[in-house]
Structure 1
Amino acid sequence: MKIMSKFGLVPVVLQWVLNLSLVVLALILVIFLGKETLYIFSYINNGTHVSKLELLEGILVYFLYFEFIALIIKYFEAKYHFPLRYFIYIGITAIIRLIIIDHESPLDTILYSGAILVLVVTLYLANTKQLKRE
């Protein structure tokens, strides 16, 4: 019985380690989000040294940081649960960024678009009343 009480502490300790790690990750993401904000504003103020494609890539990276921070916030609000739909949003944004960056091969672009379609269908299914837990 005494052994069980010692091992009962393990999930609590691991949960604290996970929570602390996520807080540190959120702080790092906030720093990178700030750097990306400065990058975007430097383009607006001084639009000669960055192409429009690079600006669009920067905006999508900005949204990726924003989505990851929102995911961490939602994790704590949902009592230590990551909602599936946030991962799907991040996946869709990342694939759109990939299409914008790497659009040389038409076959790759079609495959990426198909992956977005699969993610959108998954998002629809995840938001149905039968699967929605929130």
Structure 2
Amino acid sequence: MFIKISRSLTVIMNIAIFIVGIALCAALIDSLITLCITAWDKFFVHDDYNKIVEELITFFLYFEFLALITKYFKNNFHFPLHYFLYIGITAIVRFIIVSHDLSTDILIWSISILVLVISLLLVEKFVQRD
């Protein structure tokens, strides 16, 4: 009985992750269109390029989440830990680029990136990859 419940929950979870993947594909396409429009506008204005970098990093965040979902299905329904670390590092870098008001906040976020990079090195060294 517990095996049937476990299989049913796994199927429901896989369907939900597949739907999230489709939504992320739509968001990725929307982000790509926004990136192209922003780059086109900034190309002629020669304005601050922070908006282009922000859109580019947002695009890569969507791309990384899609790669994570792809790896989930390829690795027999398992999320690799190092992908979460990559996404965390990218998200913090994006946050620093978008809001860089206080130098103490940037220092704290930079330290958190360092912790994530050290964690990534430890995972690469000690955790078996699939």
Answer yes or no: same fold by TM over 0.5: yes
TM-score bin (small chain)? over 0.9
Listed as ranges, the matches of 1:89-128 within 5 Å are 89-128=86-125
CA shift for structure 1 position 21:
0.4
CA shift for structure 1 position 132:
2.1
| Other-structure match for 1:13 | 8
Any runs of at least 4 consecutive aligned residues in structure 1 with deviations exceeding 2 A, and if so which? 43-51
1:21-54 Cα distance to aligned partner (Å, 9 max, x none):
0110000000010001111111233334984111
Listed as ranges, the matches of 1:45-124 within 5 Å are 45-47=40-42, 48=45, 51-124=48-121
Root-mean-square deviation (CA), in Å? 1.5
Name which one, 1 or 2, has greater alpha-carbon Rg: 1
Unaligned runs of 5+ in 2: none
Report the TM-score when normalising by structure 1.
Answer: 0.90
C-alpha distance in 2, partners of 1:24/1:83?
A: 20
Checking the alignment, whether the CA contact within 8 Å between 1:64 and 1:90 is kept in structure 2 is yes
Checking the alignment, whether the CA contact within 8 Å between 1:43 and 1:49 is kept in structure 2 is no
Unaligned runs of 5+ in 1: 1-5
Structure having the higher helix fraction is 2
Equivalent of 2:127 in 125, 131, 134: 131
Percent identity, aligned pairs only, is: 36
C-alpha distance in 2, partners of 1:44/1:122?
A: 35
| Other-structure match for 1:3 | none
Report the TM-score when normalising by structure 2.
Answer: 0.93
